[in-house]
C-alpha cells in the first residue's frame, strides 16, 4: 500500500477494489453490525451450507434413510478429503476426513513411531497448540518408558525457533511435529525448510495446519511432508467441531498403520470378518462411522473456498493483515498496544495478535459491549482473525478504532472478568 | 398373545391398542409406503430433530457464532450424556458423548488395561461386532507383545456362550468386553451374570450396548458394570454417524486415564498450559472438539425416547418381536426360513434374524423391488429391526407377507447381486 490513511473512507475504498468482496454476501449475517474477527476460531455459516444441510437432513436422512450410505455417505470421507486436498497442495487420494484433529494427531503420531521403531524421540515446540502437546504426551506414555517428547522453547514466546529445532533434531528423532501457523502469535513456519531439517536427520515430519488451511495455499506434496492433520471449522467454515482431516504422502500409504483400527478402515467392512485387514490408501485411517451431518457441512465450506480460489484468498489476507498492522502502528502502538505477529508477510498467517497489559479486560469489553468479537490468549494477547471471504477492510477499521477508544476512553477499567473463550 | 391371526386386520387391531402408536407421527415419513425395518441400523429422522437442527444451524452457528460455545456447546457432551444416562440405568455424571463407538472402545479398553497392569488378557466372543475385534486387536498390539485377545466361540454362530466365557475368564484377564445385543442374531447377554463372572475373576467388564440402547432399559449401575460404550444412530434416532457415548461407573472416575488425551478433557482448557491434567469426572474421556451439529441431533433423538418412556418402548418391542416370530412360524417356517433369534424374550433384542439359503437374494429383492428395507448379514441372515417408536404391527405383517411371496412366487430367482449394505 503506497498511500495509507486511517479513516473509514479509505477502508471503503479498499473494499470497493476487492475482487472477493461479493463473497461476503454468501454468508449468513444475522447481526449485520457485528464485527466478527474469529474466523480463525469458528468460521461463519455459508448460505449454501444451510441449503446443503437441509437436503442432507430431510432428503438423505429423512427420505433415503439407510440407502444414503450407498448413495454417497460411505465415500464422503474420501470425497470431502479430495476437495480438502486442493487446499493442501496434495493429491486427491492423499487426504481423508476423520474424527477430530487431536484424535488424528494421535493416530498419525503412533503410525510415525511404528515407521521409525529404533528412534525414541518426538520433537515439538512450546508454541504448538496445547492439545497437540497432550496428545503427544499420551502417545509417548503409550509407546513406552523409553519415549520422550522434547519441547523446543520459543526465543520470545511468539516466534518459532528453526535454530532451536535444528539443534535437537537428531538420529534418535522419530518424528518432528509442529503447528504450521502458531495459534497464539500467527507466526508461520517455513514448511519446506523445517520438513527438510527433519528429513536430513531421518525423522518424519507431521504438520498441524489447523490455523493455516483455508487461509493460504499449502504445498504438502511440494515440501515432501510425510503427514499432516488439521481442522475444518476455522477458515474452512465447516461448522462447529466439524470433522478434521489426515494427509499422508502417497509413498507412505502402504506402510502406515492405524492402531485405532476400526471397521471403516477395514478392507471389506461388509464381509464382517473378525481379522483386521487395512483397506489400501488413506481410508485405513478411518475408525468408526463418521458423523455425516457435520461432515456434510464441511463439504459446503470447502466448495466456497474453491470457488473463490485459495490464491486470491491468501492475497487478500496478506493485504488485510498489512492494513491491520498499519492501523495498529498509527492508532494503537502509541497507546500501549504491542504487535505480536511477524511483520514479514511470509511468516504470518491470517490472524494478528496484539498485546496489551490489560489485554483480557480490553478483549472482554470489545466482545460484550462494542460488537467486536475477538478472543484472548494468555498472557496478554488479543487475537484478531481475518477471514478474507467475509471480512471487509471496513470491519478491520471499525475494530481497531473501537480498540483504540476502549483504551483511550478508559472503558475497560471497571470491567470485571468472568467468561470463558473457546478457539 | 392368546389369539393369533396372520391377517392384516389383526395387525391393525394390535396397532389400535398400541399406546405408543401416535409416536409414529413424530417422525418424517417421506415415502409413506416404505416399510422401514432398519431402525437397528439407522433410526428414522424425528420431526423435532428437523426443527432443532435448523435452530442449531441458523441461530447457534449462524447468529451466535463463537458465543455459542459459552451458551451451551461446551457442556453439550455432558448434557446429552446425562440424558443418555437415563436410557442406560446410569447416573447423570457417569456418561459422556464422544467420538465414535470404536474410538470410545479403544479409549476405554486402554484405560481398563492400565487399571489391571499385571493382567495380560482381554476376553471377548466371536459374535462381537467386527469393529470391536479390530479395536481390541489394535489395543493389544499397542499394549505390547505379552497381551492377548482371547475369543470365545459361539456354540452355533448365533448365541452367546456364558459357559465358554466362564471357562476362559481367569486371574490373567484384565478385561471382558462383549456386545450386549449381538448384531447378527439379536441374542442378548444376561448383563448381571456376565459382569459378575468378570468381577469374580478380578477382571473389568466393558459392554458395547450399541444394539440395545434405546430399545430396552439397561441397568449399568445395578449390574455394577465398569465401562460401556455405544452408539446413538440406531434406536436412539440420533442421525447418521452421530457421536457415541462412554459410561464409566462413578467409583472409577478418579483412576481411569484417557491415553488419547486432548484439550477437551483437560482440567482448564482455556489456560492453554502445556502439561495435560485430566478434568475430574467423565469429561476426561473427551479428546478433540466435538462435532456439534451431529451431537445436537442426538439430543433431539433421546428426548423423544424419554418422552415415550423406555419401559413402554421395551414392552412394545417384545410384543412386536413376538408377533413377528409368530408370523414366521405360520408363514415362513414352512417354506424354508429359519429363526435365528432366541424365542425367550429376555434373551432377545429388538431385531429378529431370519435365515434362508437364498437370504442375500431375498433381502435384495425386498429392498429393491418390494419397498421393504431389511438388511443381510453373512452367511444367510436377513435382519428385521423393530423400532417401536415408529414401526407398526401392520409394518411387520406387510414385511412378512412380502417375504413369503418373494419365495413362494420365486421372485428372487433371477435377481443378480451387486450392492453394499451398512449397519
Strands across the sheet with A381-385, in order?
Answer: A338-339, A351-355, A381-385, A375-377
pTM of the model: 0.97
Among the residue ranges A398-407, B86-95, B166-175, B410-419, the one predicted with the least confidence is: B410-419
Please tell me which residue of chain B has the smallest CA distance to A268.
Answer: B420
Q: What architecture is the A50-307 domain classified under in CATH?
A: 3-Layer(aba) Sandwich (3.40)
Q: Which residues from B are below 8 Å from A271, CB to CB?
A: 378
Share the mean pLDDT of chain A.
96
Q: Which fold has domain A8-45+309-414?
A: 3.90.1150
When pLDDT is cut at 50, 70 and 90, the band that residue A415 belongs to is confident
> How would residue B415 be classed by pLDDT, with cut points 50, 70 and 90?
confident
Give the gap in angstroms from C-alpha B28 to the nearest C-alpha of chain A. Answer: 6
Pairwise CB contact (< 8 Å): A261 & B53:
no
Cross-chain CB nearest to A290 (options B68, B142, B241):
B241
pLDDT band at B418 (very low <50, low <70, confident <90, very high): low
Task: Let me know: does B292 contact B99? Beta carbons within 8 Å.
Answer: no
Interface contact flag, A231 B289, Cβ < 8 Å: yes
Name which of B102, B110, B272 is nearest A262 (Cβ-Cβ). B102
Nearest to A291 among B61, B141, B291 (CB): B291
Instruction: Please indicate whether residue B129 is annotated as part of the active site.
Output: yes
The alpha carbon of residue B240 is apart from the nearest alpha carbon of chain A, in Å, by 6
Query: What is the pLDDT at residue B174?
Result: 98
Q: Report angle CA B102, B104, B106 to the nearest 5 degrees.
A: 75
pLDDT classification of B73: cutoffs 50, 70, 90: very high
Q: Taking 50 as the threshold, does the pLDDT of residue A422 lie above it?
A: no
Give chain A's length.
423
Catalytic site residue from B18, B125, B132, B208:
B208
The pLDDT of residue B414: 76
Q: A358-369, pLDDT tens digit by residue? A: 999 999 999 999
Query: B198 CA to chain A: closest CA distance, Å?
Result: 23
Task: Flag whether pLDDT at A373 surpasses 70.
Answer: yes
What digits encode the pLDDT tens for the residues A29-57? 999 999 999 999 999 999 999 999 999 99
Any idea where the domains of chain A sit in the sequence? 8-45+309-414, 50-307
Q: Is the ipTM of this complex over 0.90?
A: yes
Interface test with A, best of B65, B98, B127 (most A CBs within 10 A): B65
User: What would the pLDDT profile of A268-315 be if each residue is shown by its tens digit?
Assistant: 999 899 999 999 999 999 999 999 999 999 999 999 999 999 999 999
Could B67 and A422 be called an inter-chain contact, meaning their C-beta atoms sit closer than 8 Å?
A: no
- Searching chain A, which residue's CA lies closest to the CA of residue B141? A259
Amino acid at each position: 500500500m503506497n498511500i495509507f490513511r486511517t479513516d473509514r473512507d479509505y477502508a471503503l475504498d479498499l473494499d470497493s477494489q476487492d475482487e472477493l468482496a461479493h463473497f461476503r454476501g454468501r454468508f449468513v449475517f444475522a447481526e449485520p453490525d457485528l464485527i466478527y474477527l474469529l474466523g480463525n476460531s469458528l468460521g461463519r455459516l455459508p448460505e449454501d451450507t444451510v441449503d446443503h444441510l437441509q437436503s442432507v437432513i430431510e432428503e438423505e436422512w429423512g427420505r433415503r434413510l439407510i440407502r444414503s450410505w450407498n448413495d454417497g455417505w460411505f465415500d464422503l470421507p474420501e470425497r470431502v478429503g479430495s476437495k480438502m486436498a486442493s487446499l493442501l497442495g496434495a493429491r486427491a487420494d492423499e487426504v481423508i476426513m476423520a474424527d477430530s484433529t487431536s484424535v488424528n494427531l494421535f493416530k498419525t503420531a503412533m503410525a510415525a513411531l511404528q515407521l521409525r521403531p529404533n528412534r525414541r524421540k518426538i520433537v515439538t515446540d512450546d508454541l504448538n497448540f496445547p492439545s497437540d502437546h497432550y496428545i503427544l504426551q499420551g502417545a509417548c506414555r503409550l509407546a513406552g518408558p523409553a519415549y520422550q517428547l522434547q519441547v523446543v522453547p520459543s526465543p520470545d514466546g511468539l516466534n518459532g525457533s528453526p535454530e532451536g529445532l535444528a539443534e535437537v533434531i537428531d538420529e534418535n528423532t522419530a518424528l518432528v511435529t509442529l503447528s504450521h501457523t502458531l495459534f497464539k502469535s500467527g507466526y508461520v513456519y517455513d514448511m519446506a525448510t523445517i520438513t527438510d531439517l527433519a528429513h536430513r536427520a531421518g525423522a518424519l515430519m507431521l504438520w498441524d495446519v489447523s490455523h493455516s488451511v483455508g487461509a493460504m495455499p499449502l504445498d504438502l506434496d511440494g515440501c515432501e511432508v510425510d503427514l499432516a492433520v488439521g481442522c475444518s471449522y476455522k477458515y474452512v467454515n465447516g461448522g462447529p467441531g466439524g470433522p478434521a482431516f489426515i494427509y499422508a504422502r502417497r509413498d507412505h500409504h502402504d506402510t502406515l498403520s492405524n492402531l485405532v483400527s476400526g471397521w471403516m478402515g477395514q478392507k471389506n467392512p461388509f464381509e464382517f470378518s473378525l481379522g483386521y485387514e487395512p483397506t489400501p490408501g488413506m481410508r485405513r485411517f478411518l475408525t468408526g462411522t463418521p458423523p455425516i451431518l457435520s461432515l456434510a457441512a464441511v463439504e459446503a465450506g470447502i466448495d466456497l473456498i474453491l470457488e473463490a480460489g485459495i490464491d486470491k484468498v491468501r492475497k487478500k489476507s496478506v493485504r488485510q493483515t498489512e492494513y491491520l498492522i498499519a492501523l495498529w502502528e498509527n492508532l494503537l502502538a502509541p497507546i500501549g498496544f504491542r504487535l505480536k505477529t511477524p511483520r514479514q508477510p511470509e511468516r504470518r498467517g491470517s490472524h494478528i495478535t496484539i498485546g496489551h497489559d490489560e489485554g483480557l479486560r480490553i478483549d472482554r469489553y470489545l466482545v460484550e459491549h462494542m460488537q467486536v468479537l475477538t478472543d484472548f490468549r494468555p498472557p496478554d494477547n488479543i487475537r484478531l482473525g481475518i477471514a478474507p471471504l467475509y471480512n471487509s477492510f471496513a470491519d478491520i477499521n471499525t475494530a481497531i478504532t473501537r480498540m483504540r477508544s476502549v483504551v483511550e476512553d478508559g472503558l475497560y477499567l471497571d470491567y470485571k472478568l468472568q467468561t470463558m473463550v473457546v478457539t
